[in-house]
Amino acid sequence: MPLADARPGDDVRVELACFELGGVLYGIDVAQVCEIVRCPALVPLPHAPALIEGVVDLRGVVLPIVDLGRVLGGPPVADPDRARVAVLRIDDLLVGLRVAAAVDVLSLPATQLEELPPLAAQAGYEVVRTVVRREGAPPLLVLALEALLERVMRPAERAA
């Protein structure tokens, strides 16, 4: 079941593609992941929004690439040999998300999805959709890809 349709009380399972960045584990609804590939060489895109790193030709599709680290306000992915690109479908758009490493796909009950803590939610932190608590491990942050895409597009809209 797609994550957007799952509710914490539902008796269903959700599947999350998990990626590592700076020692933090992030999850993305697998329904939005088309594939995960090694990070190809990027071609800079002149006058593109600052968060678009460049484009790649992936099997006949020119794909814009954004770096998860930069989109989240941190440093870009540092190790190109380990880096991966998750090809994502967000609404009708295809975009590549560069991550430090692809880690795993988790299938878990929707009951493990928890809302953001109230302070984060009230502060308007919309990039994380939900949190998964894991016994003996730090929480898994489930990303809202629509909010990430908005962060990429917002500077371009202001410049227009």
**18-50: pLDDT as tens digits:** 999 988 999 999 999 999 999 888 999 898 888
Other CB atoms within 10 A of residue 143 CB = 23
What is the CATH number for 33? 2.40.50.180
Q: Is residue 136 part of a domain?
A: yes
Q: Please check whether residue 6 lies inside any domain of the structure.
A: no
Whether 101 has a pLDDT exceeding 80, the answer reads yes
4 assigned to some structural domain: no
pTM for this prediction: 0.83
pLDDT tens per residue across span 103-145: 999 999 999 999 887 776 665 578 888 999 888 888 999 999 9
Instruction: Tell me if 67 sits within 8 A of 53, measured CB to CB.
Output: yes
Q: Which domain holds residue 144?
A: 14-159
Q: Is residue 9 part of a domain?
A: no
Burial degree of 124 (CB within 10 A; 0-12, 13-18, 19+): exposed
83, 77 Cβ separation under 8 angstroms: yes
Q: Domains in the chain: how many in total?
A: 1
**Side chain identity at residue 115, one-letter code:** E
Conformational region of residue 93, where left means phi above 0, alpha means psi within -120 to 50, and beta covers everything else: beta
**Any idea of the CA torsion for 117, 123, 126, 128, to the nearest 10 degrees?**
-30
